[in-house]
Structure 1
């Protein structure tokens, strides 16, 4: 839309013009948001809408009362960047022509980490509480856990304390901001609250929606919005990986609104991320997901993270999702096999006789492969981590397994890499016998096991004198050793001797990632067996945190 010469363009409008003429680079979806705004300036009146510049500017001006409270900007006035001004301008400037009530009831925002989502949301929450003209306003910051919900709330609380104007109007008390003499309040809320009934929401900040499990909390909040005339659900998130989540549902809905497939005048969205065709290694694309690049987001920091993602495949999805706001798969192939093969240092089991080691035992079903892996930590004269794996499989029907699985079990058996037990199920007594045999050759300090299917065997091994330690298979236990194992491979500090069964399992591993970026091997999604790698991670998990046992005088290692 052409602007008149008498009306000076605001910084928000200058940003909008820059996007439209191509001088400002944004994601395709942000551009569509701006193009939608421009179309509505021309045709919105046909649907009973009008744009109120004064209302838009009033919200922008409100941020001038706020101050940053953390990092290098702590204590400085909150000066909205041009993209933030355009964001606020569009979201708050549109009203219904007949009532002047706000048009948008829902705001869905996706930004990469570090671009000030939470800070922006904190300011919006305070405006809704103190300056939106709503009597008895109820404002909430919501997340699945209260600690997460407190992030935006706590930033708002610090803003109030650092602003004389707001401090004179808004009181604070134990997770509660309120305006003295009125019923207006702001507090954190979560799905673990005893009851969510009875909410009368004027504004709610829905934080990190990609991490929300299920849709119950989202549905409660949406329902509660209907009790006010111009309530606002302000959702902020980075991209996620669960494409069956309520978050991806809102992402997809936003795309349909922007494409004109769905007409919803109550829905606003701002999705800043890489486009499908973009090369993630091209730095010129990074600003699409990081509009604060150069201010809040430093290019050097992104380069460092990108370099790690190139070298560490397990980190790539986390970089794409968190730093480039790209929806990814929950699962990612993990081990670069060229680097694994470079750890093929030759050694003999005899060279490790007498040395301390940690054992990981991953028992399969009785008809499948079980893995026992010994891991020898570095010593003063040898800084490598040595791996001795042992694999067990029932001998019966092994030829059928070769044909069915297209895996050379028969060859590995002849080479001595597979131990077969009589019958069509694994004889756990054979595993017990092997552990005792190895215990005569090596100093097995601890034997880690997953409790599944292992109770009887580990009880017997404990009776044989071994220190058995239960090792969980969740993110809490497996994240650190999963990441550490990859580090050892990439730095060539691991020596696995080229065992072909362990190599096959390493090539099969797919890792699962949680919203916090924690990793663990995922048996359910890996293409083939990974038991040896799981056992290795279990051993590494304990070996990495254990205090080395002093070597008695006179002991000599060959």
Structure 2
């Protein structure tokens, strides 16, 4: 029995413990294997790559000079990646995503893949790249490949290190480190690219550029191995969601070139069950030490601040930040609704007005009779000149490394002329809710630090002399409401309609705790992480809870 059948068949027969997504991968691959159509499995082609790696690749660390011996799960993955070809022996898959826990041999595997693509893939002048956000990070994989070559007498005979690359004299190809902060990213002709820690890439521009630079190659390959990460709404989440849609058959059948292997726990409660650890760690007991993982879990049990790191890096559970106020499970609520069909007549407002070039954020919080959920309608604003600056400069990165332009196109964000915030847009939005959506906002919570008397008088003139409720941002005002808000978020009682800006702001929010365990929102040290949406939600939530009896009597 070949490794492909043994591994993927073993998962389907429950001989190998695996998560649901790996079962779906196995089912998909075995179906292709047993019932070939446009592509068929060619064991000779698959074996060519495995044989090359095990014969010529040496370990870059540990027992130096030792040949790399691939584990069953690694061989099966390589056979799936390289073995499915068409009648012209051109392989099916040009993009592979592997998500697995740390210390499962990913850096070594990536080094082996890039050397194999350089010298053993039958491509003339292949360009192979180690891809990362920063050049220093991309050089880690590059240096690992160099160490592998140095220890192999045959490889070192034909591949030599030049100033910026590893050059193969046989086919004029090279391996090179590539990062989004490189001086030039133009003119690439990529045959192979490997990414170690896709989850660390904060903007997807470098990924998309490499992907698009593969168009002239006969059978290119973009190969990524990563753990989950703390960066949300980036390229990792996008690729993960794409993989999930593929496995759950939510994509068109034409999507045949992307192959995911997702190793994760099926349930967060499995994290302290050793029998389930293999779901996220296919190399446990052979590559990754079980005792090491046991130590990490024991530490996390005694140190709750360490648990998010273990959940993300060892078990691939989604989190936002190890120091954040909320974890991702509390932030994410997949329930959606159509605002105009809900029949809301009254709401409670909240807004956060920025002073300079930050976001403006406003929210309407609405409830229904006999329903304890709070439904959120949000809007954000940014100065038009600020949003367009990156386009004018030819900058590939968007401000704050988030897709503001996409959010604007979707109607989640609005712009206004100029380069400074115009707080009047918030008043206009609440008037729009009243006049166009027939939603009357009874009270509006706001931070008095950021609104002048003139605008405040205009709000009161529109919504009543008692409509504006100041919400000061200190722990005396915020502590208990923030704790209540977190509980309601965790219980899925806050329905934000999967608004990506709301979720981004929530994931950025941190809290400061005083000696009496009182908390208040803080932004953290990264100025690119906006929390304006969280502040506007908190302001509205505090007023809603304070005026709840009056509000419920009206609806």
TM-score when normalising by structure 1: 0.60
Which has the larger Rg?
1
2: CA distance between counterparts of 1:14 and 1:307?
Answer: 33
- Residue 58 of structure 2 is aligned to residue 101 of structure 1: no
- The correspondence of residues 489-504 of structure 1 with structure 2, limited to 5 A, is 502-504=515-517
Corresponding residue for residue 27 of structure 2: 35
**1:14 deviation in Å?**
1.6
* CA 218–238 in structure 1, closer or farther in 2 if over 3 Å, else same: same
Corresponding residue for residue 87 of structure 1: 77
Does the Cα contact within 8 Å between 2:131 and 2:196 map onto a contact in 1?
yes
* CA 187–324 in structure 1, closer or farther in 2 if over 3 Å, else same: same
2:241 to 228, 237, 252: 252
**1:11 deviation in Å?**
3.0
**Once the two structures are superposed, what CA deviation does each residue of 1:219-256 show, in whole Å capped at 9, x if it has no partner?**
11111011101001112211023331111100110111
* CA 512–107 in structure 1, closer or farther in 2 if over 3 Å, else same: farther
**1:13 deviation in Å?**
2.5
* CA 510–322 in structure 1, closer or farther in 2 if over 3 Å, else same: farther
Corresponding residue for residue 428 of structure 1: none
- Residue 263 of structure 2 is aligned to residue 272 of structure 1: yes
Corresponding residue for residue 155 of structure 1: 144
* CA 510–39 in structure 1, closer or farther in 2 if over 3 Å, else same: farther
**1:205 deviation in Å?**
0.7
Corresponding residue for residue 304 of structure 2: 313
2: CA distance between counterparts of 1:229 and 1:523?
Answer: 48
Corresponding residue for residue 139 of structure 1: 128
Q: Classify the secondary structure of the residue corresponding to 2:224.
A: strand
**Once the two structures are superposed, what CA deviation does each residue of 1:425-447 show, in whole Å capped at 9, x if it has no partner?**
xxxxxxxxxxxxxxxxxxxxxxx
Does the Cα contact within 8 Å between 1:331 and 1:513 map onto a contact in 2?
no
1:220 to 197, 204, 209: 209
Does the Cα contact within 8 Å between 1:56 and 1:93 map onto a contact in 2?
yes
2: CA distance between counterparts of 1:173 and 1:149?
Answer: 16
- Residue 81 of structure 2 is aligned to residue 68 of structure 1: no
1:193 to 182, 191, 207: 182
Superposition RMSD on alpha carbons, in Å?
3.4
2: CA distance between counterparts of 1:149 and 1:102?
Answer: 27
Q: Classify the secondary structure of the residue corresponding to 1:280.
A: helix
* CA 310–96 in structure 1, closer or farther in 2 if over 3 Å, else same: same
Does the Cα contact within 8 Å between 1:107 and 1:269 map onto a contact in 2?
yes
* CA 180–17 in structure 1, closer or farther in 2 if over 3 Å, else same: same
* CA 26–172 in structure 1, closer or farther in 2 if over 3 Å, else same: same
Does the Cα contact within 8 Å between 1:314 and 1:333 map onto a contact in 2?
no
Does the Cα contact within 8 Å between 1:56 and 1:88 map onto a contact in 2?
yes
2: CA distance between counterparts of 1:401 and 1:300?
Answer: 58
2: CA distance between counterparts of 1:22 and 1:102?
Answer: 29
* CA 510–251 in structure 1, closer or farther in 2 if over 3 Å, else same: farther
**Once the two structures are superposed, what CA deviation does each residue of 1:260-282 show, in whole Å capped at 9, x if it has no partner?**
22131111111111113652121
* CA 277–29 in structure 1, closer or farther in 2 if over 3 Å, else same: same
Number of residue equivalences: 365
Does the Cα contact within 8 Å between 2:53 and 2:112 map onto a contact in 1?
yes
1: CA distance between counterparts of 2:179 and 2:299?
Answer: 35
Corresponding residue for residue 14 of structure 1: 6
Does the Cα contact within 8 Å between 2:9 and 2:26 map onto a contact in 1?
no
Does the Cα contact within 8 Å between 1:334 and 1:510 map onto a contact in 2?
no
2: CA distance between counterparts of 1:512 and 1:27?
Answer: 35
Q: Classify the secondary structure of the residue corresponding to 1:91.
A: helix
**1:60 deviation in Å?**
0.9
Corresponding residue for residue 26 of structure 1: 18
For structure 1, the 5+ residue unaligned runs are 1-8, 336-364, 366-392, 395-399, 411-478, 487-500, 515-519, 530-558
Corresponding residue for residue 475 of structure 1: none
1: CA distance between counterparts of 2:205 and 2:474?
Answer: 45
